[in-house]
Amino acid sequence: MAEATSTDRVIIFDTTLRDGEQSPGISLDQGEKLEIAEQLARLGVDYIEAGFPVASQGDFEAVQAIARSVRGPVICGLSRTSLADVDRCWEAIEAAEHTRIHTFIATSETHMRHKLRMTPDQVKAEAAAAVAHARGYTDDIEFSPEDASRSDFDFMCEVLQVAVDAGATTLNIPDTVGYGIPEEYANQLRRIRAKVSGDYVLSTHCHDDLGLAVANSLAAVRAGARQVECTINGLGERAGNAAMEEVVMAIKTRADFFAGSDGIPLDTGIRTEELGRTSRLVARLTGYAVQYNKAVVGRNAFAHESGIHQHGVLSERTTYEIMDPGAVGAGESQIVLGKHSGRHAFADTLAKMGLKIQGDALNAAFARFKELADRKVQLTEADLEALVAEELGETVAEGTYTLVAVESAGGTATTPTTTVVLAADGKERTATCEGDGMVDAACKAIRELTGVDGRLTDYTVTSVTGGVDALADVALQFEVDGLRMSGRGLSTDVVEASARAFLNAINRILRAQGSGEDRTKVIRPGSLRLL
């Protein structure tokens, strides 16, 4: 449990199970809430706001189950100011090792008039009575003037003062509708501190309607707030709450900036290496996926695609990373091979995969990789393995012909036609053939260009990875005058993969026949059928 009076400690009040669960469509059962609460305890949060016990029997039971079994953090329940609500809240949390009641009532003109239908005096009296009643159960009481950032400042301070006088130990200032702007919100907190007397911890609770929840929370910390209310993955009503992982890592990473005037750095007490696991658990149980580029816990948070960045990170991680991925439970920095990647990252990735390839083969593999990456969003390790295997095959065969281009046309009412361009000895030649299918047409064109004929004894196409953009891996065997050679080809296009495999086998045969110097001699028109 955090020392509420400590000046260098920022208390982390997690409300994933209360405000976070108010995200549209999220409904966690008791078992799921318990699992998350256990993980929050492992993460080292100071407070778990476990739910709103009066909201439903299910929520009451879930809060009670958490209070009974989760040890470490203080267990808090939310309550409106009606005394019956406070009683129900206490009933749910009383079994906990340490308890807090969090009671709230709106103080903005619009909420008082249209929602509560109460006068300001009634609101003030409600706040005082609820806090005093709650104080009869536990001495850890939080009070929130809902919609604080849109409330009349002087009136809100009057309500805060009666709450402190009645025994509130934490004053939480909710930016309920995400209306605050960092400088303005921080200023409000400073003015509250100056105006409301007593011994209390100032707390921040920000919503993300303008995308400023984390910025507002951090500004509040700078203004003296020593409790931050936040949720894992930024879940919460509407656009959500301040994301805990972002708040915590900002305070940790920019310790220099957040240090107090005495130079003592702020500390949240969070075991940051548990952030990744907690985020994944919450995403899985709530069904709210984490966006790829989400700060700290998104899958791209430590992934580098451009060649310049990859080169930098491979030489020295801190060139493009301000946090250590291991420190937030995100494993290692990732080099994502895509069309922006450079040779350096390509060779490094192959080496890490145990694929030893150098010189011309490496250059050729890199050229092929770039070509494929232009067509495929991201290449997996399996794709690379297949690509290198293909390239090594070509190198062994000392490719006498190179495939320059393949163009196919076909359909239910069109005769399949394929045009193939091959290069040999610095010259390009083109052939266009029709066939039973586009693959068949491609192989006929290759046969015509190379003059090699024979029998296809085996042909298989496999997809290297799943998905419609998967690489097709074609493996075949081709026999010419009793000489059988295998060929392999890889492409996102199955016709091109087949053409590459076919040409690969023909090149090997030509090499084996020692006919590389005088290819014209082996021109033997014939028929070849594929498929």
Query: Out of ligand KIV, Zn ion, none, which partner does residue 491 contact, by CB within 5 to 8 A per kind?
Result: none
Which x/- pattern over 14-53 shows residues binding Zn ion (rule: CB under 5 A)?
-----x----------------------------------
Nearer to ligand KIV, 22 or 380 (CB): 22
Query: Out of Zn ion, ligand KIV, none, which partner does residue 339 contact, by CB within 5 to 8 A per kind?
Result: none
Interatomic CA distance for residues 436 and 500, integer angstroms: 19
Per CB under 6 A, the list member of 9, 205, 309, 500 interacting with ligand KIV is: 205
Nearer to Zn ion, 53 or 489 (CB): 53
**Helix runs in 136-268, H state only:** 153-166, 182-195, 213-222, 244-253, 255-258
Per CB under 6 A, the list member of 59, 140, 146, 453 interacting with ligand KIV is: 146
Q: Which of residues 456-485 bind ligand KIV (CB under 6 A)?
A: none
Smallest separation, CB 236 to Zn ion (Å):
6
Looking at 11-19, 346-354, 440-448, 457-465, which segment touches Zn ion (CB under 5 A)?
Answer: 11-19
In the numeric block, the tokens 């040890």 are attached to: 71
Interatomic CA distance for residues 235 and 282, integer angstroms: 9
Smallest separation, CB 218 to ligand KIV (Å):
18
Which x/- pattern over 105-144 shows residues binding ligand KIV (rule: CB under 6 A)?
---------------------------------------x
Nearer to Zn ion, 150 or 339 (CB): 150
Interatomic CA distance for residues 78 and 134, integer angstroms: 11
Nearer to ligand KIV, 18 or 33 (CB): 18
Nearer to Zn ion, 242 or 449 (CB): 242
Residue 338 φ/ψ region, left for φ over 0, alpha for ψ in the -120 to 50 degree band, beta for the rest: beta
Query: Out of ligand KIV, Zn ion, none, which partner does residue 104 contact, by CB within 5 to 8 A per kind?
Result: ligand KIV
Which x/- pattern over 154-193 shows residues binding ligand KIV (rule: CB under 6 A)?
------------------x-x-x-----------------
In the numeric block, the tokens 């955090």 are attached to: 2
Does residue number 208 form part of the binding site for Zn ion (CB under 5 A)?
A: no
Q: Nearest CA to 372 among 402, 337, 399, 397?
A: 337
Interatomic CA distance for residues 337 and 331, integer angstroms: 18
Residue sitting closest to Zn ion (CB): 19
Torsion of CA 12, 18, 19, 23, to 10 degrees: 130
Helix (H, G, I), strand (E, B) or coil at 334: strand
Distances (CA, A) of 379 to 58, 233, 367: 46, 28, 14
Do the Cβ atoms of 493 and 473 come closer than 8 Å?
A: no
Smallest separation, CB 62 to ligand KIV (Å):
18
Q: Nearest CA to 489 among 478, 506, 476, 507?
A: 476
Q: Nearest CA to 309 among 323, 299, 319?
A: 319
Smallest separation, CB 40 to ligand KIV (Å):
17
Query: Out of ligand KIV, Zn ion, none, which partner does residue 144 contact, by CB within 5 to 8 A per kind?
Result: ligand KIV
Q: What residue ranges in 34-148 does DSSP mark as E strands?
A: 47-51, 74-79, 99-106, 141-146
For 31, counting Cβ atoms within 10 Å of its Cβ (0-12 exposed, 13-18 middle, 19+ buried), the class is: exposed
Smallest separation, CB 19 to ligand KIV (Å):
5
Q: Which of residues 258-317 bind ligand KIV (CB under 6 A)?
A: none
Query: Out of Zn ion, ligand KIV, none, which partner does residue 146 contact, by CB within 5 to 8 A per kind?
Result: ligand KIV
Tokens standing for 258? 């957040």
Smallest separation, CB 288 to ligand KIV (Å):
18
Interatomic CA distance for residues 275 and 405, integer angstroms: 49
In the numeric block, the tokens 């090699």 are attached to: 452
Nearer to Zn ion, 6 or 22 (CB): 22
Do the Cβ atoms of 36 and 18 come closer than 8 Å?
A: no
Nearer to ligand KIV, 77 or 276 (CB): 77
Nearer to ligand KIV, 237 or 274 (CB): 237
Nearer to Zn ion, 238 or 529 (CB): 238
Q: Which of residues 378-437 bind ligand KIV (CB under 6 A)?
A: none
Nearer to ligand KIV, 207 or 368 (CB): 207
- Cα three-residue angle 457-458-464, rounded to 5 degrees: 160
Per CB under 6 A, the list member of 13, 90, 104, 302 interacting with ligand KIV is: 104
Q: Which of residues 39-98 bind ligand KIV (CB under 6 A)?
A: 78
Nearer to ligand KIV, 49 or 383 (CB): 49
Interatomic CA distance for residues 238 and 180, integer angstroms: 16
Distances (CA, A) of 270 to 11, 72, 186, 248: 9, 12, 24, 7
Interatomic CA distance for residues 484 and 304, integer angstroms: 44
Q: Which of residues 6-25 bind ligand KIV (CB under 6 A)?
A: 19
Q: Which of residues 381-400 bind Zn ion (CB under 5 A)?
A: none
Tokens standing for 277? 């696991």
What is the size of the binding site for Zn ion (CB under 5 A)?
Answer: 1
Residues that bind ligand KIV (CB under 6 A): 19, 78, 104, 144, 146, 172, 174, 176, 205, 207
Residues that bind Zn ion (CB under 5 A): 19
